[in-house]
């Protein structure tokens, strides 16, 4: 093995230290743009280089498939024989790997041939269960129950261990559904995403020898984006690291923005308490952003109390001050941003160097309208991903059913899609038969046809479907995946269905199906492909065309752009009102971290803006500037906030350079504004104490309290309620 595979050139002393320290637990605390992943990959290469063979000595865990792919490539280029001793992947993909080997040896209720149930299937399952329990779908929807189940699984809680106070939520309903849901999953040999890790933990608990085996195998464990781990992932890590205690976690507590889906920031904050011998290395030299941008972000994040603390220093110098701009309304904001984008483009800057990052999806509407009107090419991320699209999911379901005819969820998805005369009644019959006999749906259909339980039209329809299925199973052996898919879509009438469809998107859908065929061609087997799909909700392949990026801040984490726009920094949008209202400061702190993440995406120039009125849900809503704006140190700003207020008060839509866009409101907006603007106004909406209001469901009432985004209203017939301003119509006095 060559002795300079870990080329340390380009690593600063702190990074070098993080790479070379190879003894005991280590926490690498690194801010945005300090080269975390780079350090981690160098460290892996260093271990590979220093410790010769036995295979499987390193376990390297990342959070997303994208990150895993990136790391794999980097490591491969650093260390020639990386593939040999290394397990690298996401928590879930590695958990699958373990279960595929050992699931049968423990009493988990599944065997090694288990199928992975994705979120769409989870929804469908829960919906069925709720129906069986005769619950009013208006009152209880899967979306109400599933977050509980996910939350519990993320904390390694099985139904019977859910603590009493949480059982009481929804009157214990969620627990009941959880139990039924779990039984259903096991009956079909299925595992949802939460189960993958939960079963690993159970497996380790019931089979200590399996745990020991992996504890011995993985001498070194490395984790990227540690601040995003949830309780069960952390438990999994702790178990595996128990013997060698060579756990290296890399992360930034200030970038923990996934608390709402179970990430546990305490994992990183309390690392040193759990590993008292741990060494902490802070990486504070920032290669991405200018000092002004860092100072601005640091000023904001300093208002959080739950943090370990870092001082980032830019290697790139002071750079431009942060642009701040206020506008009369969202339209003016959008067109000013577009003007600036075009101006910079004419100065030679690529569109792809500019990005607009937003807090919530709906903010993009106005921006998209403006971009389109000005013919600026743009890409919107965060819509439906490739593998989540209806036509793709259907096609994949066909393949799943061909691969494993016991895949009941796939069966249910496509048995009557496109319609082939198998209605709800026949499907229910099959389902009941299958469940009471403990066989798969496909199996049930066969038997029911033989026994003539199914007759007439339905029987004929099932017959021809079975014939198709049989044919496909034979063809599977001789055809490539892509060809098989083509034949299936043809035979099942999917192509015909979309060709005949009058829907606008029909053509795109056909194109997508073509894309799926080429995706299939990249996999060695149908099985490999299906496993990939189950685990990966693939990020859309980036197009080569030069275009501006619009994405949510969440989606932008880990990315960087030269020029970044952050519109709609307004109370009511950012921070999101739901986070503000919760009594603890936790969610507000997460919003603040989100602001920090957003700001630190910019390398060269950052432009933050707000509007006083925003077109939302088809209504004009008055908004105030975000509290985060006041937290940005004035020294980092091009124009102080106070000055912007002055100019705005003087009737100007004003901002810093490139943002002077006087405008007049459209006729409709003016009318709406007038009706919504009484003398003494609630800053965010326009209501006053004592004002009469109307609500779609609760009727007439009187405002008795004003809060940031809510009114307290005494309704004439429904008593006192606190209601979001969005749903209130103010009446003229």
Partner DNA sequence: AGTGTCAGGATTTTT
Partner DNA sequence: TCCTGACACT
Active-site residue set: 36-37, 224-225, 255, 601
Rule CB under 7 A: say whether 579 interacts with DNA.
yes
Rule CB under 7 A: say whether 541 interacts with DNA.
no
In this structure, are residues 713 and 695 in contact, taking their beta carbons and an 8 Å threshold?
yes
Q: Which is nearer to DNA, 296 or 575 (CB)?
A: 575
Rule CB under 7 A: say whether 90 interacts with DNA.
yes
* DSSP secondary structure letter of residue 180: H
The contacts of residue 712 (CB under 8 Å, 6+ apart) are 703, 704, 705, 706, 720, 721, 722
Shortest gap between Cβ of 424 and DNA (angstroms)? 6
Q: Which is nearer to DNA, 66 or 404 (CB)?
A: 66
The interface region with DNA, picked from 158-166, 353-361, 631-639, 651-659 by CB under 7 A, is: 353-361
Rounded CA-CA distance 696/86 in Å is 60
Rule CB under 7 A: say whether 696 interacts with DNA.
yes
Q: Which is nearer to DNA, 37 or 604 (CB)?
A: 37
The interface region with DNA, picked from 521-529, 576-584, 681-689, 704-712 by CB under 7 A, is: 576-584
10 Å CB burial of residue 66 (0-12, 13-18, 19+) is: middle
The size of the interface with DNA (CB under 7 A), counted in residues, is: 49
In this structure, are residues 604 and 264 in contact, taking their beta carbons and an 8 Å threshold?
no
Chain-centre distance for alpha carbon 205 = 30
Rule CB under 7 A: say whether 124 interacts with DNA.
no
Rounded CA-CA distance 607/247 in Å is 39
Q: Which is nearer to DNA, 127 or 486 (CB)?
A: 127
Rule CB under 7 A: say whether 476 interacts with DNA.
no
The contacts of residue 587 (CB under 8 Å, 6+ apart) are 259, 260, 578, 579, 580
Give residue 219's region: left, alpha or beta (phi > 0; psi -120 to 50). Answer: alpha
- Residue 215 CB coordination number (10 Å): 18
Rule CB under 7 A: say whether 362 interacts with DNA.
yes
Rounded CA-CA distance 249/25 in Å is 8
Binding DNA (rule: CB under 7 A), the pick from 129, 536, 564, 599 is 536
Binding DNA (rule: CB under 7 A), the pick from 555, 641, 665, 673 is 555
Cα–Cα–Cα angle for 396, 402, 404, rounded to 5 degrees: 100
Give residue 291's region: left, alpha or beta (phi > 0; psi -120 to 50). Answer: alpha
Shortest gap between Cβ of 54 and DNA (angstroms)? 27
Q: State yes or no: cis peptide before 457, omega within 30 of 0.
A: no
> What stretches of 220-297 adopt beta strand conformation (E)?
220-223, 247-251, 279-283, 285-286
* DSSP secondary structure letter of residue 375: T
Rule CB under 7 A: say whether 260 interacts with DNA.
yes
In this structure, are residues 177 and 101 in contact, taking their beta carbons and an 8 Å threshold?
no
In this structure, what token pair is assigned to residue 587? 């969610």
Binding DNA (rule: CB under 7 A), the pick from 209, 617, 651, 717 is 617
In this structure, what token pair is assigned to residue 210? 């399996």
Rule CB under 7 A: say whether 97 interacts with DNA.
no
10 Å CB burial of residue 52 (0-12, 13-18, 19+) is: exposed
Rule CB under 7 A: say whether 125 interacts with DNA.
no
Shortest gap between Cβ of 136 and DNA (angstroms)? 8
Shortest gap between Cβ of 598 and DNA (angstroms)? 12
Rule CB under 7 A: say whether 6 interacts with DNA.
no
Site for DNA in 382-411 (CB under 7 A): 382, 385
The interface region with DNA, picked from 207-215, 403-411, 535-543, 649-657 by CB under 7 A, is: 535-543
Binding DNA (rule: CB under 7 A), the pick from 618, 651, 674, 690 is 618
Cα–Cα–Cα angle for 496, 525, 467, rounded to 5 degrees: 45
From the list 187, 177, 200, the residue with the least C-alpha distance to 115 is: 187
Rounded CA-CA distance 538/471 in Å is 30
Rule CB under 7 A: say whether 552 interacts with DNA.
yes
Q: How far apart are the first and last CA of the chain?
A: 84
Site for DNA in 145-204 (CB under 7 A): 193
The interface region with DNA, picked from 70-78, 296-304, 359-367, 643-651 by CB under 7 A, is: 359-367
Rule CB under 7 A: say whether 532 interacts with DNA.
no
Binding DNA (rule: CB under 7 A), the pick from 141, 279, 379, 404 is 141
Q: Which is nearer to DNA, 523 or 727 (CB)?
A: 727
Q: Which is nearer to DNA, 121 or 295 (CB)?
A: 121
In this structure, what token pair is assigned to residue 160? 């019977």
Rule CB under 7 A: say whether 666 interacts with DNA.
no
The interface region with DNA, picked from 62-70, 158-166, 469-477, 514-522 by CB under 7 A, is: 62-70
- Residue 194 CB coordination number (10 Å): 22
Query: Look-up: residue for tokens 């497996």?
Result: 203
Query: Look-up: residue for tokens 């803006």?
Result: 609
In the shown chain, the binding pattern of residues 483 to 522 toward DNA, with x for contact by CB under 7 A and - for none, equals: ----------------------------------------
Q: Which is nearer to DNA, 90 or 286 (CB)?
A: 90
In this structure, are residues 461 and 421 in contact, taking their beta carbons and an 8 Å threshold?
yes
Rule CB under 7 A: say whether 64 interacts with DNA.
yes
In the shown chain, the binding pattern of residues 421 to 440 toward DNA, with x for contact by CB under 7 A and - for none, equals: xxxx----------------
Shortest gap between Cβ of 297 and DNA (angstroms)? 19
Q: Which is nearer to DNA, 504 or 649 (CB)?
A: 504
Rule CB under 7 A: say whether 261 interacts with DNA.
yes
Rule CB under 7 A: say whether 229 interacts with DNA.
no
Helix (H) or strand (E) holding 588: helix 586-599
Binding DNA (rule: CB under 7 A), the pick from 290, 304, 576, 661 is 576
Q: Which is nearer to DNA, 110 or 535 (CB)?
A: 535
The interface region with DNA, picked from 103-111, 483-491, 524-532, 612-620 by CB under 7 A, is: 612-620
Rounded CA-CA distance 368/687 in Å is 31
Binding DNA (rule: CB under 7 A), the pick from 41, 65, 330, 549 is 65
Phi, psi of 390, rounded to the nearest 5 degrees: -50, -55
> What is the contact surface with DNA in residues (CB under 7 A)?
63-66, 90-93, 118-119, 127, 137-138, 141, 193, 260-261, 359-362, 382, 385, 416, 418-419, 421-424, 535-537, 551-552, 554-555, 576, 578-579, 587, 591, 617-619, 696-697, 726-727
């Amino acid at each position: 093995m060559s002795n300079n595979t870990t080329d340390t050139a380009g690593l600063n002393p702190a990074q070098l230290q993080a790479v070379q320290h190879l003894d005991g637990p280590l926490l690498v605390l690194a801010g945005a743009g300090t080269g975390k992943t780079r350090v981690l990959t160098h460290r892996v290469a260093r271990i590979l280089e220093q410790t010769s063979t036995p295979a499987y000595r390193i376990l390297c865990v990342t959070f997303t498939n994208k990150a895993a792919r990136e790391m794999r490539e980097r490591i491969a280029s650093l260390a020639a024989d990386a593939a040999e001793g290394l397990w690298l992947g996401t928590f879930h993909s590695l958990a699958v790997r373990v279960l595929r080997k050992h699931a049968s040896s423990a009493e988990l209720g599944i065997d090694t041939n288990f199928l992975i149930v994705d979120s769409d299937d989870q929804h469908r399952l829960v919906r069925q269960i709720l129906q069986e329990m005769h619950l009013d779908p208006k009152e209880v929807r899967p979306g109400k129950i599933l977050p509980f189940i996910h939350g519990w699984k993320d904390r390694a809680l099985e139904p019977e261990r859910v603590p009493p106070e949480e059982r009481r939520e929804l009157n214990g309903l969620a627990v009941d559904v959880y139990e039924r849901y779990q039984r259903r999953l096991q009956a079909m040999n299925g595992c949802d995403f939460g189960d993958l890790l939960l079963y690993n933990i159970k497996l380790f608990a019931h089979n200590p020898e399996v745990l020991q085996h992996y504890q011995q195998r993985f001498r070194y464990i490395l984790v990227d984006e540690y601040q995003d781990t949830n309780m069960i992932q952390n438990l999994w890590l702790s178990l595996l690291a128990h013997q060698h205690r060579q756990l290296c976690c890399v992360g930034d507590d200030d970038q923990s923005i996934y608390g709402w889906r179970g990430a546990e920031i305490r994992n990183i904050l309390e690392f040193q308490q759990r590993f008292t011998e741990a060494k902490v290395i802070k990486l504070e030299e920032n290669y991405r952003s200018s000092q002004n941008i860092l100072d601005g972000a640091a000023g904001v994040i300093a208002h959080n109390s739950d943090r370990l603390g870092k001082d980032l220093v830019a290697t790139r110098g002071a750079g431009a001050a942060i642009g701040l701009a206020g506008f009369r309304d969202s339209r003016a904001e959008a067109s000013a941003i577009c003007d600036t984008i075009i101006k910079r483009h004419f100065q030679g800057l690529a569109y792809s160097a500019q990005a607009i990052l937003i807090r919530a999806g709906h903010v993009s509407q106005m921006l998209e309208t403006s971009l389109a009107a000005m013919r600026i090419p743009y890409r919107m991320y965060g819509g439906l991903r490739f593998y989540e699209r209806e036509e793709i999911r259907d096609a994949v379901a066909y393949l799943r059913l061909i691969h494993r005819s016991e895949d009941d969820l796939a069966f249910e998805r496509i048995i009557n899609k496109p319609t082939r005369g198998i209605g709800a009644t026949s499907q229910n019959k099959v389902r009941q038969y299958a469940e009471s006999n403990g066989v798969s749906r496909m199996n049930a259909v066969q038997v029911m046809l033989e026994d003539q339980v199914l007759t007439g039209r339905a029987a004929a329809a099932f017959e021809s479907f079975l014939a198709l299925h049989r044919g496909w199973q034979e063809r599977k052996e001789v055809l490539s995946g892509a060809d098989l898919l083509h034949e299936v879509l043809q035979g099942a009438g999917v192509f015909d269905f979309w060709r005949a469809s009058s829907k606008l998107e029909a053509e795109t859908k056909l194109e997508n199906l073509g894309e799926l065929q080429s995706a299939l061609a990249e996999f060695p087997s149908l099985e490999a492909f299906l496993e990939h799909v189950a685990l990966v909700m693939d990020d859309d392949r980036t197009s080569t065309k030069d275009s501006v990026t619009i994405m949510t801040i969440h989606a932008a984490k880990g990315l960087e752009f030269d020029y970044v726009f952050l519109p709609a920094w307004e109370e009511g949008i950012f921070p999101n009102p739901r986070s503000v209202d919760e009594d603890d400061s936790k969610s507000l702190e997460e919003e603040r971290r989100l602001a920090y993440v957003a700001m630190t995406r910019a390398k060269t120039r950052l432009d933050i803006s707000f509007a006083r009125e925003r077109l939302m849900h088809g209504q004009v809503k008055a908004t105030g500037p975000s509290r985060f704006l006041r937290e940005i140190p004035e020294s980092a700003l091009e124009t102080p906030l106070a000055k912007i207020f002055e100019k705005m008060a003087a009737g100007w839509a004003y901002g810093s350079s490139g943002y002077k866009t006087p405008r007049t409101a459209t006729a409709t907006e003016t009318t709406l504004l007038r009706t919504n603007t009484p003398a003494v106004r609630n800053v965010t909406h326009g209501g006053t104490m004592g004002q009469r209001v109307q609500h779609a469901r609760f009727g007439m009432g009187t405002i008795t309290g004003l809060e940031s985004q809510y009114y307290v209203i005494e309704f004439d017939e429904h008593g006192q309620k606190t209601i979001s301003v969005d749903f209130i119509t103010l009446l003229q006095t």
